[in-house]
């Protein structure tokens, strides 16, 4: 089968993920108007900024609001010491000095500082609890959604992009809520409260406090020009680096066998170098403006001291108010800096939020299922055409073109044809991994699009030659097909699939962990486990991608036995790579360049179909090949 790793439809309706490369989206023609294809259309634009963030908060909005309230109270209480310090100054310089008042004010300061710490701690704790819940909830929602969208959703996205959304983008939201959100609320509350306080004391000094602000904002605005574009470039680079990194790790055996290093691994090293260049250019364009902004924003005293001094010596400003402005005025401008940071943080997560929403808003495949139920277990393809992408539409060549034939219930029908003929594509249409561009794929006389997806997936088992085992025990991997399977059922399925013996030899038998972080199984062993999975599922229709190469003769014999057990009493549509194994099929359908060339039994086709005769002759020749160091591959007869 071609290209991407496809998970078996093992019962839970798991759809596979196109690995490491962008595959073109399928063309229109499927129901739903917007097509099974890109679900992102028009869904992210309205969820940017704070409104997008609010939508992601879901049920945690209440907790986040409580955190915001605690943060504002912390700010309000935190302003009290400034007022007390100003009053202390007048009490100390009074004649005689009012030391009792200073003492009482000191206690108020202590109380206020304690109150601020408590409110800040409460805001942080509430924000952290909300953040962890949002993290957990978002990842679950994303995982559920990805399990429910059509396979075509993955066609225009690399695994790296989706991994980034599920891990990094969600982590950014979590970090924003936990760390930046309370700070951001404080950054808004401080200027509002301080401005009100200062204006109520002396408007001239209030203006003097913010005199440097326009210059500072101007400097920042000029350094921010073009930042949106730069950020977009950065995110695109991150996506590329992620995808190349995953590809590099997946293909590490190839990289090693060719003696390549990461440095020479084209796209990965290029995207890392471009990332470095981006950083340097960002610092160059942004650094100067930011430096000016920071210098100006911290220099409000340069205006406040002369203006305040003048007003004080001319008797227009009391000492208490002068001190109040000298301690509180700089807070106003400094809080602007925090506000800038907070806004920067909102912008930073904006792109990620939009990506999360694109996934969450993607329409489910399940939602498109109809309500009709199949009347029997036969399959029929009626004038089925299929193209993988926009680019192919309009071109003469489609992956499948007006394919029509029937797979009789309880019989074995084999798809044969040269490589690239469209066999795998056709088989994928049955469990709706892809959807026909036009025509009907029927199961039990009903178009697969018109029956509930769970009914369809309950009727069809798919065994692909590329078997994917999840991290989890042998038992858990088998229970994917039937979550409530008893131990006896699992063992029985494994015995029938000739897998029981090797499973028992594993260190922990059926409890042995498998997958990337578990025991490594041979191709043949994996194949037998996938057959056991299909046996457990016990669906009446079986779509089978016959493996091209088994590890050894013994494995091959065992797999053939397991397959015979699996096929018994079912409707079987088998993609045949070796004609010898399907010669006894009830019907063979010869596909070539996406079209049906002929159909019939092995003998009938051998008698009349030139393409079949050719395929048969090639396979007989191939079976007789041996490898030789003298010249190229040599004929067995010749070599002997
Ligand atoms: N994900 C994909 N995106 C775009 N084109 C694809 C994709 N998968 C397959 N194709 C193309 O569709 C056509 C049919 O491929 P398909 O894998 O169905 O053939 P096949 O008969 O199963 O081949 P093989 O026996 O080599 O597995 C080929 O031209 C192939 O290049």
DSSP string, 2-56: -SS------SS-------SSPPPPPPS-SSSSS-SS-TTTTTSGGG-HHHHHHHH
Residue nearest to atom 12 of ligand 1 (CA): 399
Q: How many angstroms separate the CA atoms of 457 and 567, rounded?
A: 17
The yes-or-no verdict on residue 123 having pLDDT over 70 is: yes
Of all atoms in ligand 1, which is nearest to the CA of residue 389? 4
Of all atoms in ligand 1, which is nearest to the CA of residue 428? 18
Q: Is residue 9 situated within a structural domain?
A: no
Instruction: Check residues 546 and 200 and name the one with the higher pLDDT.
Output: 200
The yes-or-no verdict on residue 457 having pLDDT over 70 is: yes
The angle subtended at Cα 608 by Cα 602 and Cα 613, nearest 5°, is 65
466 and 354 in one domain? no
177 and 121 in one domain? yes
Q: What residue has token string 């199949």?
A: 374
DSSP of 402-461:
EEEEEE-TTSEEEEE-STTSSHHHHHHHTTTSS--SEEEEEETTEEGGGS-HHHHHHHEE
CA of 426 relative to ligand 1 center, distance in Å: 10
Q: How many angstroms separate the CA atoms of 423 and 406, rounded?
A: 15
Report the candidate in 281, 283, 262 with the shortest Cα–Cα distance to residue 272: 262
Report the candidate in 337, 298, 59 with the shortest Cα–Cα distance to residue 190: 337
188 and 97 in one domain? yes
Q: Are 25 and 38 in contact (CB under 8 A)?
A: yes
Please report the pLDDT score of residue 487 as a whole number: 92
Please report the pLDDT score of residue 20 as a whole number: 32
In Å, the largest CA–CA distance within the chain is 123
Please report the pLDDT score of residue 23 as a whole number: 36
What six digits make up the tokens of 40? 């992102």
Please report the pLDDT score of residue 453 as a whole number: 82
Of all atoms in ligand 1, which is nearest to the CA of residue 4? 1
Residue that terminates a domain, selected from 326, 343, 360: 360
Q: What is the pLDDT of the chain when averaged over all its residues?
A: 79
Residue nearest to atom 8 of ligand 1 (CA): 2
Of all atoms in ligand 1, which is nearest to the CA of residue 422? 18
Strand partners, 205: none
Give the distance from CA 420 to its chain's centroid.
30
Q: Are 157 and 19 in contact (CB under 8 A)?
A: no
The residue whose CB lies within 8 Å of the most ligand 1 atoms, and thus the one to mutate among 18, 416, 418, 420, is 420
How many CB atoms lie under 10 A from the CB of residue 291?
A: 12
What six digits make up the tokens of 534? 């299909």
Of all atoms in ligand 1, which is nearest to the CA of residue 427? 18
Q: How many angstroms separate the CA atoms of 368 and 357, rounded?
A: 20
Cβ < 6 A, ligand 1 pocket: 1-4, 23-24, 388, 399, 417, 419-425
Give the pLDDT mean for 247-264.
Answer: 66
421 and 356 in one domain? no
567 contacts: CB under 8 Å, gap ≥ 6: 412, 542, 544
Instruction: Check residues 379 and 534 and name the one with the higher pLDDT.
Output: 379
Q: Are 624 and 588 in contact (CB under 8 A)?
A: no
The residue whose CB lies within 8 Å of the most ligand 1 atoms, and thus the one to mutate among 1, 2, 3, is 2
Q: What is the CATH number of the domain that holds 306?
A: 1.20.1560.10
Per-residue model confidence as pLDDT tens digits over 284-310: 777 777 788 888 877 888 888 999 899
Q: How many angstroms separate the CA atoms of 159 and 147, rounded?
A: 14
Residue nearest to atom 26 of ligand 1 (CA): 419
Give 366: exposed, middle or buried? Use CB within 10 Å, 0-12, 13-18, 19+: middle
Report the candidate in 219, 587, 629, 281 with the shortest Cα–Cα distance to residue 415: 587
Binned at pLDDT 50, 70 and 90, residue 129 comes out as very high
Checking ipTM against 0.85, whether it exceeds it is yes
Q: Is residue 93 situated within a structural domain?
A: yes
How many CB atoms lie under 10 A from the CB of residue 254?
A: 10
Query: What are the angstrom distances between the C-alpha of 157 and each of 141, 152, 275?
Result: 18, 9, 21
- The torsion of the CA quartet 95, 97, 100, 102, rounded to 10 degrees, works out to 130
Write down how long the chain is.
Answer: 640
DSSP-derived secondary structure letter, 380: E
Q: Which of 325-339, 420-434, 452-466 has the highest mean pLDDT?
A: 420-434
The residue whose CB lies within 8 Å of the most ligand 1 atoms, and thus the one to mutate among 26, 399, 549, is 399
419 and 540 in one domain? yes
Q: How many angstroms separate the CA atoms of 141 and 272, rounded?
A: 31
Q: What is the CATH number of the domain that holds 468?
A: 3.40.50.300
137 and 79 in one domain? yes
Q: Are 616 and 445 in contact (CB under 8 A)?
A: no
Q: What residue has token string 């007869």?
A: 637
Supply the range of the domain harboring residue 304.
45-212+298-360
The yes-or-no verdict on residue 605 having pLDDT over 60 is: yes
Residue nearest to atom 5 of ligand 1 (CA): 388
55 and 175 in one domain? yes
Q: Is residue 616 situated within a structural domain?
A: yes
Instruction: Check residues 62 and 17 and name the one with the higher pLDDT.
Output: 62
Report the candidate in 204, 191, 563 with the shortest Cα–Cα distance to residue 340: 191
Q: How many angstroms separate the CA atoms of 277 and 223, rounded?
A: 18
Q: How many angstroms separate the CA atoms of 609 and 119, rounded?
A: 83
286 contacts: CB under 8 Å, gap ≥ 6: 223, 224, 227
Q: Is residue 273 situated within a structural domain?
A: no
The residue whose CB lies within 8 Å of the most ligand 1 atoms, and thus the one to mutate among 157, 425, 464, is 425
Binned at pLDDT 50, 70 and 90, residue 107 comes out as very high
329 and 412 in one domain? no
Binned at pLDDT 50, 70 and 90, residue 444 comes out as very high
CA of 634 relative to ligand 1 center, distance in Å: 30
204 and 97 in one domain? yes
Q: Is residue 67 situated within a structural domain?
A: yes
Please report the pLDDT score of residue 11 as a whole number: 34
The yes-or-no verdict on residue 543 having pLDDT over 80 is: yes
457 and 329 in one domain? no
Q: What residue has token string 């007022």?
A: 83
Q: Which of 6-15, 82-91, 327-336, 390-399 has the highest mean pLDDT?
A: 82-91
Q: Is residue 266 situated within a structural domain?
A: no
DSSP-derived secondary structure letter, 24: P
**Structural domain tally of the chain?**
2
The yes-or-no verdict on residue 352 having pLDDT over 60 is: yes
417 and 319 in one domain? no
CA of 399 relative to ligand 1 center, distance in Å: 7
Q: How many angstroms separate the CA atoms of 287 and 280, rounded?
A: 10
Report the candidate in 297, 360, 310, 270 with the shortest Cα–Cα distance to residue 52: 360
Report the candidate in 596, 535, 267 with the shortest Cα–Cα distance to residue 402: 596
Of all atoms in ligand 1, which is nearest to the CA of residue 426? 18
Please report the pLDDT score of residue 5 as a whole number: 33
Please report the pLDDT score of residue 16 as a whole number: 30
195 and 86 in one domain? yes
Please report the pLDDT score of residue 118 as a whole number: 95
Please report the pLDDT score of residue 326 as a whole number: 87
Cis bond upstream, residue 50 (ω within 30): no
Q: Is residue 552 situated within a structural domain?
A: yes
Q: Is residue 239 situated within a structural domain?
A: no
Q: Are 480 and 529 in contact (CB under 8 A)?
A: no
């Amino acid at each position: 089968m071609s290209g991407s790793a496809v998970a078996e439809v093992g019962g839970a309706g798991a759809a596979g993920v196109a690995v490491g490369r962008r595959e073109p989206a399928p063309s229109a023609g499927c129901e739903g108007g917007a097509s099974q294809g890109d679900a992102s259309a028009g869904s992210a634009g309205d969820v940017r900024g704070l409104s997008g963030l609010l939508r992601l908060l879901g049920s945690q909005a209440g907790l986040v609001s409580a955190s915001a309230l605690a943060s504002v109270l912390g700010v309000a209480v935190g302003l009290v010491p400034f007022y007390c310090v100003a009053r202390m100054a007048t009490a100390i310089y009074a004649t005689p000095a009012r030391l009792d008042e200073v003492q009482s004010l000191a206690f108020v300061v202590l109380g206020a500082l304690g109150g601020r710490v408590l409110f800040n701690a409460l805001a942080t704790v509430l924000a952290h609890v909300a953040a962890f819940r949002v993290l957990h909830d978002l990842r679950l929602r994303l995982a559920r959604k990805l399990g429910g969208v059509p396979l075509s959703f993955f066609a225009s996205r690399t695994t790296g992009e989706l991994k980034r959304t599920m891990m990094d983008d969600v982590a950014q939201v979590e970090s924003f809520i936990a760390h930046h959100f309370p700070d951001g609320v404080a950054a808004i509350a401080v200027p509002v409260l301080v401005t009100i306080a200062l204006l109520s004391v002396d408007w001239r000094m209030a203006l003097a406090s913010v005199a440097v602000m326009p210059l500072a904002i101007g400097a920042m605005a000029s350094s921010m020009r073009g930042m949106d574009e730069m950020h977009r470039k950065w995110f695109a680079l991150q996506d590329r680096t992620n995808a190349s990194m995953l590809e590099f790790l997946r293909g590490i055996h190839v990289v090693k066998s060719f003696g390549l290093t990461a440095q020479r691994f084209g796209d990965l090293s290029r995207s890392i170098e471009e990332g470095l260049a981006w950083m340097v250019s960002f610092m160059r364009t942004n650094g100067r403006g930011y430096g000016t902004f920071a210098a100006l924003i911290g220099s409000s005293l340069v205006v406040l001291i002369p203006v305040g001094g003048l007003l004080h010596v001319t008797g227009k400003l009391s000492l208490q108010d002068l001190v109040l402005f000298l301690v509180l005025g700089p807070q106003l401008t400094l809080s602007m800096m925090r506000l800038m940071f907070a806004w920067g943080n909102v912008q930073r997560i904006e792109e990620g939020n939009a990506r999360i929403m694109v996934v969450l808003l993607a329409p489910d495949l399940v939602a498109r299922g109809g309500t009709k139920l199949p009347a029997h277990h036969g399959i029929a393809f009626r004038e089925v055409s299929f193209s993988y992408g926009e680019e192919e539409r309009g071109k003469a060549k489609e992956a499948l073109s007006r394919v029509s034939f029937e797979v009789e219930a309880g019989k074995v029908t084999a798809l044969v044809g040269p490589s690239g003929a469209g066999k795998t594509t056709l088989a994928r249409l049955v469990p709706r991994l892809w959807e026909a561009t036009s025509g009907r794929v029927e199961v039990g006389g009903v178009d697969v699009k018109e029956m509930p997806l769970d009914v369809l997936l309950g009727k069809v088992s798919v065994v692909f030659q590329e078997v994917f085992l999840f991290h989890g025990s042998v038992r858990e991997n088998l229970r994917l097909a039937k979550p409530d399977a008893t131990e006896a059922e699992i063992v029985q399925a494994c015995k029938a699939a000739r897998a029981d013996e090797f499973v028992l030899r594993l260190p922990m038998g059926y409890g042995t962990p498998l997958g990337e972080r578990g025991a490594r199984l041979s191709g043949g062993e994996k194949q037998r486990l996938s057959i056991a999975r299909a046996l457990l599922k016990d669906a009446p229709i079986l779509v089978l991608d016959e493996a091209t190469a088994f590890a050894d003769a013994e494995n091959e014999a065992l797999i053939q036995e397991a397959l015979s057990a699996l096929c018994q009493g079912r409707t079987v549509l088998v993609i045949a790579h070796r004609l010898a194994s399907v010669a006894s099929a009830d019907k063979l359908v010869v596909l070539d360049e996406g079209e049906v060339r002929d159909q019939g039994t092995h003998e009938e086709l051998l008698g009349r179909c030139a393409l079949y005769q050719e395929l048969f002759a090639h396979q007989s020749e191939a079976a007789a090949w041996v490898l030789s160091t003298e010249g190229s591959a040599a004929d067995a007869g010749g070599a002997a």
